Each structure stands twice: as C-alpha cells, then as structure tokens.
Structure 1
Amino acid sequence: MSFNFNLQSIQQSLQKTTKSLSDSLQQNLNSLPSAEKVTSSLQSNLNNLGKEVSNLKPILQRTRRSLQEKLGSTSDISELPQEYKDLEKQTDALKNFYKKLLQVTRQYEIESYDYPPNLKESLNDYTKILNQKINGLSQATTTTEAEAVLLRPTKDKYPKTFAHQFSRVLDEVKKALLGDGEQTAETKTDSSLTKAVQFASNSEFKLGDERLEQDKLVTSEFNNKIRNVLKTQFSRADRLRRKVETARLNFDTVRAEIKEIKKGDETVEVPDAKSKQLEAAEDELVNATESAVEAMKELIKTEEPVNLITVLTKIQLNYHKSATEELSELAEELGVLNVAGEDDVQETES
C-alpha cells in the first residue's frame, strides 16, 4: 500500500485557509467600534444619566416639602386665591353628589333588587338546571353535542323580579287548581278563581317587563351618563388641580431656598439664577391656577345635574303610569269576574 502526497496542493490549501481566517479576523476587527466611538457613547450615557438625576431633583424637593407641610414642620405655605378654594369645595360637593346618587341608582342594574335570593328556590333552580343538563347529556351522541349541552346557557322564562316571580307562582297555582291530566274536560272547566289567577299572572308578567325596561333606561340614560361625567369632566378638573398643587410646592420650595440664603437679612443679594427660578415658578403657579379655575367654573355652572334628575324622574313616571294602567285593567277584569261569580251563586241557590 502506498500514499501519494501532493505537497504543492497541501500548501495551496493551507494558504487559502490562512487567508480566509485573516480576512475574517480583520472584518470582525473593523466592525468593532473605535475607541472614539466608545468614549462618545459612554459620555452620551453619562449625560443622559445626569439629565435623569436633574429631573428627579425637583420631584424629591417637592416630596420633601409636602412631607414637611403635612408634618407641620413648616407654616410658610402660599395661600391660594379664595375663589380657587371656594370652587374646589363646590366641585368636591358636586362630585360627591354624583357618587351618592350612583350608589343608590346602580341597584337598577341588579335584576333581582326587589326579589332577594331565597335559599329554597335557589336550590330548586339549581336542581332543575342540573336535571336539564343530565337529560341533555343522556341524549348526546357525540363529544361535540355533549359540549354544546354543557355550554348552552339556561334561560328562565321568569326573570328574577318580584312581578315575574309572582306571575310564576300564580301560573303554578292555576295548574294546581286545574288538576292533573286524569280529570275530565268537564271538571277542568275554568272557574272564576282560575280565571282571576290567570289574569293576575298575565298582568304581573307585564309589570315585570315594564320594570326591566325602566331599569335598562335608568342604566343607559342616567347611571352611564353620570359615570361618563365623573370619568371625563371631573378627571380633567382633578388633573388641573394636581398641577396647581405641584406648581405651589415648586414655588414654595424656591421661596424656602431664597429664605435660607437670606437667613433673615434682607440686604443679602439673591443670585440672579435663583430669582429667575422664583419668577418662573410663580408664573407656573398663576397659569395653573387660572386653568383650574376656568375648568371648575365650567363644571359647576352646567345644567347637567338637573337634566339628569329630570330624565330619571320621567323614566320612573312612565313606568308607574304603565303600572297604574295595567293594574287598573286587572282590577276591572277581576271586578267583572266577581259580578259573574255572584250571579252564578244566585242562580244555583234559586
């Protein structure tokens, strides 16, 4: 066995490999940032860090000033205009008014607010739903059908309002009065009582529907509009008031610094930079106060509260009118049945 080595070919291959490695190394070295670029980038980062620290300084000063005021360690606090303070009180009172109203009227968003939960009925409802699911699963032949049975919402014919539930009970009473399927057609004839129960059931169901319609209107035309006012108009006023407080803290912080420089000696000259800083802080406070005053004036002069109460009153009035008409018709129907019942009794006695 013999091996033939081509020395020239090997040398050429080594030269190519060496050149390739050299080129690759040079390319990587060229891609590295120069010392000048590294220094520039580092300086830029340091400058940015310095700016961040500078931005934090006023925040820390305001925080310290606010704590001093709350702890009572300083009494030299700038007095805001009386008009501004009066508007703040009126704005807070109006905001509290809206919130108090909403605490009550949001009950309209709870379907069962006039029909508290009943443990026995709740257990019966759960049992009924469970039986429906079991029956549905027993008839399912595929996984998809079984999943559909489990996910299908169960809708009760009778919503959880007092009127609807009263209607349900009256329907059950009527069925009990009529008896089961073993009775003859003659014995199943509706009596005055079963007719009265049916009339009352129908009427109560309509009353329940009217109440739900009222609730829907109160939610959309009253509750949601109050929420929108609180979210938009009052949020804007609160934001502007926070700006006033921030500007006031800045102004008082600079005043305190100047006071520290003078140390009670009015002849001490204040540096120009500090004087300009005080002027800028004062301008900021004045502008912020004017913007907040304008926003609060606009907020309290609106007729929106009266309009909303008017809307709520009309919704309630329409509901009670409908309820009165429905109950009046029911009373007439029951009166006719009562007269007919008395006539039947007289005919029987004669």
Structure 2
Amino acid sequence: MQSWKNIQASLTASVASVDLSGINKNLKNTVQSTRERFGQVDPNDVTELPAEYKALEARVDALNDLHKGMLKITKVHETESYDYPTQITESMSELGQTVSQGWSSFAHNNLKNVKLPVNVPMPAEPGSTPPAPPKTLPHALSRAAKAGALNVGLEDRLGKTLNTYSEAMEKVGDARLQQDHVIVGTFLTPWQATLSSSIALAMKARANVKTARLELDAARSAMKSAAAPKQEQYRLQVEEAEDKLVQMTETAIGLMKAVLENPEPLQNLSNLVNAQLIFFSTAAETLSSVQGDIADAAAAAEAEYRQTRAA
C-alpha cells in the first residue's frame, strides 16, 4: 500500500503536469487552486489583490465572527427554560397528565358500554386544562414558595413571608419573559437578518473575487504554455479576466464598506442592553420592595427565639 506521502507526491506531480490550455474554465480554476495549494505556482504568478481589499476582508471576517458568536449565545432567549434546566421533570409530569387526559377522553367517547377499571380517570371538561406554568427559575421559586406558604399556613410568620417572596418572584419572572420577548424582536431577529443578508452578500462578492482571480492566473498560465499561433487568443482572455477581476474587486469593496458602515448592529446592541437593563432594574426594585419586610420578619423570629431560650 502506498504511503500518504507517496500518494501526495503523485497527485502533486499530476496536477503540475496539467496543460491548462485545453480545459474548460471551471476546471482551470480548480487546477489553478490545487496547484497553488500544493506549492506548484510561483508566488510571483499569483495576482496580488489591493491592500484596501485585504484590510476590508479582515474587518468583515471579524464582523461575521462577532455576529455568529453573539447569536450562538443570545439565542438562549428563544427558550423559556434556559435558567431552569430542571424543568424537564415538570414537563414529563405534564406530559403524563396530558396522556392520562387523552385516554380518559378516548374511553368516554369510544368505550361507553365497556366496564373499565375503577382507576381510569374521568375525562376532563373541554377547556378545563390550565395553561402550563412558565418554565423560568423565578417562576419556579415563586411556585415553590407559594406551595410552602400554603402548607405552613398564611397565618404563620414563615408562611406569610414565603407568600410575600412568592409574589415578588412571580413579578421578576414576568419581567424576565418580557425581556426575552424584546431581545428576540429587537436584537436576535435583526442581528440574524444582517448576518444572512448584507454580510452574506459581502462574503459572496469575495467568493466572486477569488474566482475571478483564479480565472486570471489560470489564463496567464495557459498563455505561457500555449503555442505561438494561439498567443493572441490567450492574450485577449487574459485582458478579459483582468477586467472581470477589477470589476468584481470594486463590487466587493463597495459591499464590504456598506456592511462595515451599517449602524444597525450598534442599534441592535443598544436594544439588547436596554432590555437587560429594564429586567435587572425591575428585579432589583421588586426584591428591594420586599427585602425589608422579610428582614424584619427574620429579626423578629430571631428575637422571639432568643427570648424563649433565655427563659
């Protein structure tokens, strides 16, 4: 079996020996690109693109990476339960209830005259199923505190305080859902649109420049190896390829500048920060409004405990 080095050497030699004068344009570009990759083309024979173009390429690459990186993280706001992963247990419980209700409905409609086991649940009345509770961490804490308050008793100091905390966390949870709604509408959606429209157009224009550059260098290579009678024909092809490369480069430069000068990403970022600011300030204000009462209840309970122990 041939080693990889031998296979690579054989492939490199084959590519280097290809005559570009008798093959179609697409294949010429492929061969030219492969020759460059294997080091079979003198660097001086590779057309140098303008410095302005290469500088814009680097900046657009950075902008493209920025959009992809931010989207990868902020898309979490499209998922209600991102801060409460253990909600999967609740979801499975709700699924069980849904299956049970579905079976009850089937039995009620199709097995009226069949004697069923006594533990088959009765069908739920239409519209009686309550909506699923929000799957956020603040809402989960609110539900747990509310359940605890009812179990302990609202007349008890702990129960009353738990109820106060529950109401506060429900407001915080509602504010978080509102934040997510705003972020999806004013940041995620336009941010994704910029990536898939103007940035994508600029990237496509750059691909066209690369293709045009390969066509030019392939044409020049073909002209070098062509017989004298065909030199004029290939000279015209080179001139045509040069004009095409200039046109494609100018188009790409214009599109890349338009992307980099577009103020919308900054506005989108401002929208993101504003939504976060409203949420965190609402959460802070809500918790601050109940923290004093909870602290007073804790201090009173501590004082009573110490007094009891002292007696």
1:237 paired to 2:202: yes
TM-aligned CA distance change 1:132 to 1:198, over 3 Å: farther
Task: Identify the match of residue 63 of structure 2 among 94, 104, 113.
Answer: 94
SS in 2 for 1:67: helix
Give the drift of 1:220. Answer: 1.3
Task: Identify the match of residue 71 of structure 1 among 34, 38, 55.
Answer: 38
Give the drift of 1:190. Answer: 2.1
TM-score (norm 1): 0.69
Q: Is the 8 A contact 1:163 1:205 kept in 2?
A: yes
TM-aligned CA distance change 1:251 to 1:163, over 3 Å: same
The match for 1:160 is 135
Give the drift of 1:257. Answer: 1.3
Deviations for 1:48-105, whole angstroms, at most 9, x for unmatched residues?
xxxxxxxx82112212212222222222211111111111111001100111111111
1:317 paired to 2:277: yes
Give the drift of 1:115. Answer: 0.7
Q: Is the 8 A contact 1:158 1:168 kept in 2?
A: no
Give the drift of 1:305. Answer: 3.1
Bigger Cα Rg: 1
The match for 1:197 is 162
SS in 2 for 1:323: helix
1:59 maps to a residue whose letter is: N
* Partners of 1:153 and 1:319 in 2: CA distance: 33
Q: Is the 8 A contact 1:77 1:252 kept in 2?
A: yes
2:148 maps to a residue whose letter is: V
More displaced 10-residue stretch of structure 1: 239-248 or 193-202: 193-202
* Partners of 2:294 and 2:136 in 1: CA distance: 23
The match for 1:294 is 254
The match for 1:216 is 181
The match for 1:24 is none
1:114 maps to a residue whose letter is: D
TM-aligned CA distance change 1:152 to 1:253, over 3 Å: farther
Task: Identify the match of residue 206 of structure 1 among 162, 166, 171.
Answer: 171
* Partners of 1:135 and 1:128 in 2: CA distance: 10
1:81 maps to a residue whose letter is: P
* Partners of 1:196 and 1:156 in 2: CA distance: 27
Give the drift of 1:134. Answer: 3.8
1:84 paired to 2:53: yes
Task: Identify the match of residue 303 of structure 1 among 263, 272, 278.
Answer: 263
The match for 1:103 is 72
TM-aligned CA distance change 1:156 to 1:167, over 3 Å: farther
More displaced 10-residue stretch of structure 1: 120-129 or 321-330: 120-129
The match for 1:31 is none
Residues paired across the two proteins, number: 275
Task: Identify the match of residue 241 of structure 2 among 257, 274, 281.
Answer: 281
Q: Is the 8 A contact 1:129 1:154 kept in 2?
A: no
- The sequence identity of aligned pairs, in percent, is 31
1:60 maps to a residue whose letter is: L
TM-aligned CA distance change 1:155 to 1:294, over 3 Å: farther
Give the drift of 1:172. Answer: 1.7
What is the CA RMSD across the aligned residues, in angstroms? 3.4
Deviations for 1:195-229, whole angstroms, at most 9, x for unmatched residues?
22222111111111110110111111111111100
Structure 1 stretches lacking a partner, 5+ long: 1-55, 179-188, 263-267
2:246 maps to a residue whose letter is: V
2:69 maps to a residue whose letter is: K
